[in-house]
Chains A and B, each alone.
Chain A
Amino acid sequence: MILLAVHTLLLSVQTNRRFDTSFVRVWLLESLGPIERVVDLGIDGIGGVWHGYFALIGEHRENLKLHQENDAMRLELATRQEDALELARLRKLMDMRPSIGGNTVVTRIISRSPASGSQTVTIDKGSRSGIVKDSTILTTEGVVGRTITVGNDYSIVQLILDSQSAVGFIVRSSRKLGILKGTGAGSELALEYIDDDNEIKQGDELLTSGQDQIYPKGLSLGFVVYVGPRQGNFKTVRIRPSVNFGKLEEVLCMTERVPEVSIGQAP
């Protein structure tokens, strides 16, 4: 009972914003972040060796001696291919930097939220790299989310899929404004408070409007994949995020707030 009361009190003071608990998060993040990074790198190494070597052992058993050299080269090739893929991803991010304007830093995701229902990830950069709270996180495809807890070397990023996330958007074609919220489950987004949903149609692209004072204007958020019948005041609209959240590895973090960006087509 005492512990439940303590938790209730803790939740209450955070809701009223009377007590800042971020120091607890930062302390835990800084303490556990290095372990996560080491394990992440270890898994990468094991994965590379597995895909490049052990997974091929069965196929080469008959001619093991003849193919020993071949295996070694395959291992080398697999590692280089993995490096090349990573390099290509990083190059795409680096190419994108000039069009964003302002300072950016490339970071790597090292883990996801350990609590089900919460859509957050941990990245391996923090305030030492210039990241601050509410820094925008993006990829070449579009917006990933924003930082909500920043430690010295690690940060927690709230994905736009999270149920606490809300992003101001503008429909590219009709210029209607609204708010895009995360559903907390699955990889879909939900439209809320749109000016007028009569003109919304399948295939429409939603961009950040910049009105939330967090995300700069002009970044891609997602696409309308389904427009259903009206339920209550609004139509049933399903949004697919621009970013493939299942394949996130490296992301770009904006360390300087800029009012507007123009990537690809002008919004």
Chain B
Amino acid sequence: MTNRIGKFGLVVKFAISLIAVVLIQGILGYRLRVFEYFDLPLIITIYYGFTLGRPIPAVIIGTSVGIIQDALAGVPLGTNGFSKTLIGYLAATTGSKFDVDLPVARAIAIFLFTLGDGIIVNTLGLVTGTATVVNYTSITLHLLLSGLFNALLGLLMFGIHDRVTHASA
């Protein structure tokens, strides 16, 4: 019984943190224009993928965060869901097979995952006919900047979390 409550508590904690991340992304994106280059839900998906190291919880987190993003962004449901699910799985696989504790490895991984996420989302938009990429140059520039910014923010967030974890341990 206690174990069940503990698991339920963990699920609630995850759900609240995922919703909070999507809301923070929306609110900061409105307040600070530079925040449109960041993707907090993506960083969280990668983070849990790396730290959990197990694909199933990572893809569930990716799916949940992606669906909430889709619903609040007004894009077809499943666009970011598909992308974040795949990223969650790849991050978990990468985390279990490679050493992602090094900051350089983390930064490169976040950069590449951001590019991958952007390519998947834009491709799905084109395939479903809901988006028309008019300017490939600006999309590419946006993705590269986004990758760079996400890598820097991810490093900062991972670093803070590592310190907190070590301190509490």
Residues of A that sit less than 8 Å from B by CB? 3-4, 6-11, 14-15, 21, 24-25, 28-29, 32, 35-36, 39-40, 43, 109-118, 120-122, 148-149, 156, 158, 163-164, 181-186, 188, 190, 192, 246
Contact = CB atoms under 8 A, between A and B. Distances in A.
Contacts of A192: 134
B27 A185 contact: no
11 contacts: A28-B72, A43-B31, A114-B41, A115-B41, A115-B69, A115-B70, A115-B73, A117-B121, A122-B26, A164-B125, A185-B135
Nearest to B128: A15
Contact of A14 (B30, B37, B77): B77
A232 B168 CA distance: 63
Contacts of B129: 15
Contact of A111 (B26, B79, B121, B125): B26
Interface string B123-140: 011001111111100110
Given A36-B23, A117-B121, A185-B141, A112 B29 contact: yes
A109 B131 CA distance: 24
Interface in B67-95: 68-82, 85-86
B19 interface: yes
A118 B75 contact: yes
Contacts of B39: 115-116
A204 B164 CA distance: 57
Contacts of B128: 11, 14-15
Interface string B12-38: 000000010011011101110100111
Contacts, number: 166
Contacts of B80: 115
B51 interface: no
B131 to A, nearest CB: 4
Contacts of B77: 10-11, 14, 21, 24-25
A156 B118 contact: no
B133 to A, nearest CB: 7
A83 to B, nearest CB: 19
Contacts of A15: 76, 128-130
B74 to A, nearest CB: 4
A163 B73 contact: no
A158 B135 contact: no
B96 interface: no
- Dominant SS at the B interface? helix
Interface residues of B, number: 54
Contact of B68 (A3, A7, A28, A184): A28
B142 interface: yes
Contact of B36 (A4, A116, A158, A188): A116
A188 B142 CA distance: 13
Nearest to A120: B74
Given A32-B19, A181-B134, A113 B139 contact: no
Contacts of B135: 183, 185-186, 188, 190
Contact of A122 (B72, B79, B122): B72
B30 A109 contact: yes
A186 B142 CA distance: 8
B146 interface: yes
B23 A39 contact: yes
A190 B130 CA distance: 16
A233 B36 CA distance: 33
A183 B131 CA distance: 9
Nearest to B38: A116
A111 B71 contact: no
Contact of A114 (B69, B118, B122): B69
A111 B36 contact: no
A154 to B, nearest CB: 10
Contacts of B45: none
- 3 nearest CB pairs, A to B: A111-B26, A10-B78, A7-B82
Contacts of A113: 26, 29, 72-74
